[in-house]
Structure 1
Amino acid sequence: MGQLDSIDWDARFQQAALDPSGWLPVLRDMASATGSARGQLIGVGGPNAVPFNWVTDFPDEALSDFVRMDGGSPRINFRIAADLEFQPGTVVHEADYRRARGRLASDTYVDFCHDREIPLGCHTALIAEDQVMIGLALLRTTRDGVTTEDQRTEFARAARAARSAVRLQRAIEHQGADLVTGTLEAMAADCLLIDGFGRVGSMTPGAERAIAEAQAIRIVDGMLGGATPPTSRRIAQALRAVLAGNDPARVALGGGRRLELFALARREWALSFSPQVIAILRDPQAELGREVAAVARDFGLSPAEAAVTRLLVGGLDRDAVAALRGVSAGTLKSQIKAIYQKTGCAREAELVALVAGLNR
């Protein structure tokens, strides 16, 4: 063990946290130091069940197959199933895997490991909290054989350093989230930031108020949901799609309100603690009210003129506006003329464009 003891895992893994492109090299060194074919760092949890899965010298199609089979589920994955019996930080290995295989719902992952030559090895949970697990593993072939006690001891030594590195990188990614939050607070929209595990992080004050009211959206166990179970399922499906790709998604919330989800730029080799999706709560009536209030403030409209502006911009014709306001057609015409004079508009289309563009 003398040569292995000379490996400074703390320095190696810390460097990976500071320069995440170094994760694969240090995982490869860990595998080599323990006589294993491959090293792995994996994140499990959230709508996108496997936010990241880094395996050394493993084909991309195999990683895609793992996601398609829902490989992060303890129902089919004997490694994750075995891990449920132990406290985080325990080194779980082949003897534990054998017991777990008898409890699986199918042999899909067992067959996958056989075909991809990774049936043996050991692993440990570096982080297991808030329905999120980040695991470190040695993936071994039948030729590598079952892990020895010495190999597991060396793996545990590497794992301690990896755990500190993961926590360091998580802190760095959270700092990035704080910077994004500062930008969001300057926006008029009600926004929430969501990380790669589907957990809500920072949000604007308007979004906080919407969460407190719980009429359109709410947060349950750190996850964004709707006012009803069907709406929560639609939000989860939309979030899963945005995390898996880059296309935006929209979810109707009722009452004319909607939730828009957009993917943020993703840093390569991020551990998924950084914001990866921005969710924008749209309430057309509330937004229109804010926009009209801004026009009234900036152009000196009276309360009556502001009310007329809101109804016109909301799509009502003049007869409907007059009826709702309880005024004659002549009075309404005079009010609209005053609105045009104050705002510099010549027709309703220009007024609509002014209101819509003032806060953009």
Structure 2
Amino acid sequence: MSHCQCVPLDSMGMSTPDAPSSLPPDAATSPAAPTVLTVERFSHLVERIYDAALDPALWSACLDEIREELGGNYVSLIVRHVTEDDPGLIVSVASDHGPIDPSTVGIAASPFTDVPIGQLVTESDLMSPAEWKASAYYREWCAPHDVCHVMAANLGTRAGSVYGFRVTRPESWRPFSPLRIETARRLLPHLRQALDAYLSVNRDRKLSLLYGRAMAQLMVGAVVLDERGKVVECNAAASGILGLHDGLRLAGEQLEATYANDNRKLQQLIRNALARSNSAQAELTEAMSVSRPSGQQSWGLVVQAVSPDEWTEGKHRPSVAVFVRDTEGKAHPPIRLTQQLFQLTPAETALAIQLANGLSLEEAAEALNIRRNTARAHLRSIFSKTGVRRQTELVRLFLNSVAWLGSTPE
């Protein structure tokens, strides 16, 4: 059974141990060194590495398999090195010894931090056994954690990030065999490429999250359909609109309109977009309005085909995007942002937000529990600070401002 944990680097003793053993081979109790690494086994390890690139939760299991193959008691992937301002971060796995005491100190003094990018070394490549065991790093960090032998490499990504890869053994085990050193060396390019892929995928995820959040804050719902017309994703604004069951709904995995006439038109637009998404023609964008049983203003929908690419021919490919705007929903931009943009007082900001949400001056005064004369005084001050002359201009100014990008839909 193995143990794994992901903890701050300065509180984890599992990342940069080092040192050769002087024990004779017959006294060593390390795992028996394999005579050959099969293609099947190596391919399995590489597969696990690339799986982890797509799902960070799999890194621990991946590193544990590498630990078993290389015969180590610990394997670590250093995400961030220790600095004066950063305790660092590593993903670490251990054998039956269990997690290392989180009171570890001295890890920043590791001699492996400055190993050239892409080069695999052992502790004996850097210093003699006597020098190694006399070093403060060995005495204060390695020995207390049953670490003596070390393989270490630093991996550089295309984005400029540097990750540390460490495999360790205790003093009672033999040093790493040439075969295991060569196995580790052959895994390094795959680890580096997997980290490149992870950084790229994670960047795309963060950008998608950012764009999706911006759309939701502007009260634009987005529903994504696959090549079968099935809903595969909705942003927060769309989920809120569909949850109202007021003109639009999810029926199983299908997007439907409540009224039959609206639904026939919606399904036709979706079929048109699907037909276009499967062709090399230009993107198709069509629009319609959807009546609401509540009697409120109709939803405005835009249905757009999503252009395919040659590498996304599998199932559940995003094929159609349906955008819907909540024209009557209210949002509340952060007061601090609004004040910073227009140099308004808190009271003036509160009034301006109420007006932007469609209330008259009298209704806004009542909602804020202030006198009408006070509201008029605030409005005159708002006009002076924003440079507008009419209430309609003020509403347009606020609705078009970036303050709404910090809002929370109601």
Under TM normalisation by the shorter chain, which class is it?
0.3 to 0.5
Q: TM-score, normalised by structure 1?
A: 0.48
Compare CA radii of gyration and give the structure with the larger one.
Answer: 2
Higher helix share: 1
Q: TM-score, normalised by structure 2?
A: 0.43
